[in-house]
């Protein structure tokens, strides 16, 4: 197993930092070395938000993401800033409920209805961050669903555990289906 770098981007209030913390905890639960960092604008909600996670079975010598393997964009602005200049091997996951204008990419691009899925299943956008986390974790192949669910239980705000578990499971399934669909197309 080698190092994987994750970058979660969007706007403040979307829960991306919590999603990154849960992913980092899942890596720790799996016995991996982990580095997690975050930054956000001065606005409480709506300002730029960015969270990074590195998971490796070897020592991590620099705690910042330099060449992300997975980028999640939760806003059009984040997509423009981080999604357009990725190396081709990186997987780009965009919430097509929030990011509506895309530049074609030859591979590793997933435009999925993340926020719409949360609204459909929970009646609000709450939980979209964990739907997204489930997608990213399943696509990475690095961490098991059990480790992600355990981490969510450790970090879920009181009273949200059941919804968060359901959101993660929905996202995991969406990621698996997207991965299978991409593989089926490439096998043609």
Sign of CA dihedral 157, 40, 124, 171: negative
* Contact (Cβ atoms closer than 8 angstroms) between residue 39 and residue 59: no
Given a cut of 60, whether residue 185 has pLDDT beyond it is no
Percentage of the chain beyond pLDDT 70 is 92
d(CA 65, CA 71): 11
Task: Pick the more confident residue, 39 or 44.
Answer: 39
Q: Which of 63, 83, 85 is nearest to 74 (CA)?
A: 83
pLDDT at 2: 86
pLDDT at 41: 64
Task: Pick the more confident residue, 93 or 182.
Answer: 93
Count of structural domains within the chain: 1
* Contact (Cβ atoms closer than 8 angstroms) between residue 20 and residue 57: no
pLDDT tens, residue by residue, 115-155: 999 999 999 988 999 999 999 999 999 899 999 999 999 99
pLDDT tens, residue by residue, 167-184: 999 999 999 998 877 655
* Contact (Cβ atoms closer than 8 angstroms) between residue 151 and residue 26: yes
Q: What domain range includes position 38?
A: 4-186
d(CA 80, CA 101): 9
d(CA 168, CA 25): 14
Mean pLDDT estimate for the chain: 88
pLDDT bracket for residue 188 (50, 70, 90) = very low
d(CA 91, CA 74): 14
Q: What is the CATH number of the domain that holds 67?
A: 3.40.920.10
93-109 mean pLDDT: 86
27-46 mean pLDDT: 82
State the maximum Cα–Cα separation within the chain, in Å, rounded to a whole number: 48
Given a cut of 80, whether residue 59 has pLDDT beyond it is yes
Contacts 24+ apart (CB under 8 A), 102-111: 107/182, 110/135, 110/139, 110/175, 110/178, 110/182
């Amino acid at each position: 197993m080698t190092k994987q770098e994750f970058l979660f981007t969007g706007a403040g209030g979307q829960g991306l930092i919590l999603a990154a913390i849960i992913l980092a905890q899942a890596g720790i639960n799996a016995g991996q070395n982990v580095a997690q960092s975050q930054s956000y604008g001065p606005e409480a909600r709506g300002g730029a938000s960015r969270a990074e996670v590195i998971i490796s079975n070897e020592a991590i010598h620099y705690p910042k993401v330099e060449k992300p393997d997975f980028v999640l964009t939760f806003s059009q602005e984040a997509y423009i800033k981080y999604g357009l200049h990725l190396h081709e091997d990186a997987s780009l996951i965009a919430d097509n409920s929030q990011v509506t204008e895309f530049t074609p990419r030859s591979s590793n691009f997933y435009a999925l209805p993340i926020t719409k899925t949360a609204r459909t299943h929970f009646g609000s956008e709450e939980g979209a961050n964990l739907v997204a986390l489930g997608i990213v974790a399943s696509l990475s192949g690095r961490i098991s669903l059990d480790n992600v669910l355990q981490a969510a239980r450790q970090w879920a705000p009181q009273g949200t555990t059941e919804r968060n578990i359901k959101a993660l499971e929905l996202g995991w399934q969406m990621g698996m289906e997207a991965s299978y669909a991409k593989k089926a197309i490439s096998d043609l």
